[in-house]
Amino acid sequence: MNNFSAVPEYQDVLQSAALAFLERHHCEHLSDDQQLFSRAVQHLVADYDVQTQVAEKIVHLAGTTMVAVRDRQRLNIQSSTSTHTVIVDPVTGRQWAVPVSLIYERIINAPDLGRFRLANS
């Protein structure tokens, strides 16, 4: 194998590692994407011995992929009920019925409520 084909493969490995890091830690930084980005860059620099500039480019690409996947899910109002919200991924066709009580318990009533705003205020 020559070096020309190895470079894109290594970049794919780095991007996969960055994407996995971003997905694993994004819930810790819901209101601060820059801090998550910086941590992912440091992860690549420390664990993969990559230069900071290269790590920043790789994390940016991984972040773009994560946002594209994360933002494609939609609420299926027709299938939702008063007790369950149905979320659908239009690309894969997968659907999830999420209990409203779980949304309230884990998101709305969470200790860091400050990241959300009341809809009726």
* Residues 56-82: tens digit of each pLDDT: 999 999 999 988 877 888 999 999 999
Question: Is 79 part of any domain?
Answer: yes
pTM: 0.60
Question: Is 120 part of any domain?
Answer: no
Question: Is 82 part of any domain?
Answer: yes
* CA 61 centroid distance within chain: 13
Total domains present in the chain: 2
Of 70, 86, 102, the one marking the end of a domain is: 70
Question: Is 85 part of any domain?
Answer: yes
Residues 7 and 59 in one domain: yes
Q: With CA atoms as reference, report the closest residue to 17 among 71, 55, 52, 69.
A: 55
**Is the dihedral angle over the CA atoms 99, 104, 108, 112 positive or is it negative?**
negative
Residues 94 and 39 in one domain: no
Terminal C-alpha separation, the chain = 62
Please report which residue ranges of 26-51 form alpha helices under DSSP H. Answer: 33-48
Residues 81 and 55 in one domain: no
The whole-chain average pLDDT of the chain stands at 86
Question: Which range has the worst mean pLDDT, 23-27, 75-79, 84-88?
Answer: 23-27
Residues 8 and 64 in one domain: yes
Question: Is 121 part of any domain?
Answer: no
Interatomic CA distance for residues 28 and 73, integer angstroms: 20
Q: Structural domain of residue 103, as residue ranges?
A: 74-115
